[in-house]
Amino acid sequence: MTIQDIKQRFGIIGSSAALDRAIDIARQVAPTDLSVLITGESGTGKEVFPQIIHQFSTRKHGQYIAVNCGAIPEGTIDSELFGHEKGSFTGAHEARKGYFEVANGGTIFLDEVGELPLATQARLLRVLEAGEYIRVGSSKVQKTDVRVVAATNVNLPTAIEKGKFREDLYYRLNTVPVYLPPLRERKEDIYLLFRKFAADFAAKYRMPVIKLDPEAEQMLINYYWHGNVRQLKNIAEQISIIEKSREIPADTFIKYLPQQAGSSLPMVKSESNSMSGDMSERDLLYKVLFDMKKDLTDLKKVVHNIVQYNQGALVGLPNDDVQLINKMYDEEGTVLHDTNSYPVHNPQIIQPGKAIQPIVIEESLSLADKEKDMIIRALSKYKGKRKNAAKELGISERTLYRKINEYNIKE
């Protein structure tokens, strides 16, 4: 069967080389019993490929079971996958077969496999290596002959580094990798998909098909599509239902695109999902401190150059400012300014023509000192009003009150 035949049979739309490559790999690996790991962002259609593999395998007459590992609570996932004995835990009123027992001789699709607990990962590894498992509450080893196809939108190598996924399990699952590209990597397919969805919803809701004008079409193609095919389908349905006009201009279409609507530039994305993307209070404070230190260092260089090559630049400056500049230089060898507001050198130490050498003063990087200083400055700025000071600092009033007591700050 050709790639085009597979697309028609499973309702796959698109002609990009990356999509055809993924279908071709699935077709070739299907007759074997090798484990397959399907990776790609959420909404790219990963759930179709295990069906392709199963239907073109020698197990096509066996059971096919799809399991969403991320939707099953951690406390019951072992029971769901491997079964349990009667009385093995509260509520286990009778023995139950697990998915690996039910799917014996067939194929099991483990969606979001990256969400499995580590203990369950160890059990799964045993199934992949020896075809053995033990029901929860039992000591009897049972055999199963199951083809495992897994999928995830989690970066598993990163999860391995963080200790959230077993490396040995990753290599067992990833015998044959299949990568599904996001929509932004197959732009030639975006408009085809939109037209298909628009036609489907027009038939479903018995209304004329919506059409995009050229500018809206370009906007459609250049959009980032975080949710990929799923998000594209949802927007096509929204427009089909809400808009009375069947001709959709760009200014109407853009209303349905969240965040950086219509932008061809990728949006900054933190590491999956797995991280919240928000900087902690400590990280943010460290960033501010290092930026301040860099600015101060640059300022020192500027002042040094001005003083070294234009001694008269200090004439007329207030004594307080000159004293501040003096702190940047070696106390033993240099006097930049005297009480008569005229720059002079100590002749006993500074020789004629000798350049003034600045001394680099490292700022204190004590987090506590800087935090205390920032709190004092915020309170001073708002004349002791804690609510406004807390807002300026980006912390709660309760946290501010605790910090004031902790640092013994007198208001």
On whether both 199 and 141 belong to a single domain, the answer is no
Task: Please indicate, yes or no, if residue 377 is contained in any of the structural domains.
Answer: yes
On whether both 67 and 47 belong to a single domain, the answer is yes
241, 256, 271 - which closes a domain: 256
Task: Please indicate, yes or no, if residue 215 is contained in any of the structural domains.
Answer: yes
SS (H, E, C) the chain: CCHHHHHHHHCCCCCCHHHHHHHHHHHHHCCCCCCEEEECCCCCCCCHHHHHHHHCCCCCCCCEEEEEHHHCCCCCHHHHHHCECCCCCCCCCCCECCHHHHCCCCEEEEECHHHCCHHHHHHHHHHHHHCEEECECCCCEEECCCEEEEEECCCHHHHHHCCCCCHHHHHHHCCEEEECCCHHHCHHHHHHHHHHHHHHHHHHHCCCCCEECHHHHHHHHHCCCCCHHHHHHHHHHHHHHHCCCCEECHHHHHHHCCCCCCCCCCCCCCCCCCCCCCCCHHHHHHHHHHHHHHHHHHHHHHHHHHHHHCHHHHCCCCHHHHHHHHCCECCCCCCCCCCCCCCCCCCCCCCCCCCCCECCCCCCCCHHHHHHHHHHHHHHHCCCCHHHHHHHHCCCHHHHHHHHHHCCCCC
On whether both 56 and 173 belong to a single domain, the answer is yes
On whether both 51 and 156 belong to a single domain, the answer is yes
CATH number of domain containing 227: 1.10.8.60
For 331, the domain range is 280-355
The answer to whether the pTM exceeds 0.85 is no
The whole-number pLDDT of residue 350 equals 37
The whole-number pLDDT of residue 323 equals 63
Q: What are phi and psi of 94, to 5 degrees?
A: -155, 160
Task: Please indicate, yes or no, if residue 48 is contained in any of the structural domains.
Answer: yes
Provide the domain count of the chain. 4
What is the phi-psi region of residue 89: left when phi exceeds 0, alpha when psi lies from -120 to 50, beta otherwise?
A: beta
Task: Please indicate, yes or no, if residue 263 is contained in any of the structural domains.
Answer: no
Q: Work out the end-to-end distance of the chain between its first and last CA atoms, rounded to an integer number of angstroms.
A: 80
CATH number of domain containing 396: 1.10.10
On whether both 342 and 371 belong to a single domain, the answer is no
Task: Please indicate, yes or no, if residue 270 is contained in any of the structural domains.
Answer: no
Task: Please indicate, yes or no, if residue 265 is contained in any of the structural domains.
Answer: no
On whether both 134 and 18 belong to a single domain, the answer is yes
By C-alpha distance, which of 160, 156, 154 is closest to 174?
Answer: 156
Task: Please indicate, yes or no, if residue 362 is contained in any of the structural domains.
Answer: no
The whole-number pLDDT of residue 118 equals 95
On whether both 35 and 107 belong to a single domain, the answer is yes
Task: Please indicate, yes or no, if residue 66 is contained in any of the structural domains.
Answer: yes
User: What parts of the chain have a pLDDT lower than 50?
Assistant: 261-279, 330-361
On whether both 58 and 100 belong to a single domain, the answer is yes
On whether both 219 and 135 belong to a single domain, the answer is no
152, 181, 210 - which closes a domain: 181
On whether both 50 and 146 belong to a single domain, the answer is yes
Determine the residue type at 162: K
On whether both 134 and 39 belong to a single domain, the answer is yes
By C-alpha distance, which of 207, 36, 41 is closest to 108?
Answer: 36
On whether both 165 and 195 belong to a single domain, the answer is no
CATH number of domain containing 99: 3.40.50.300
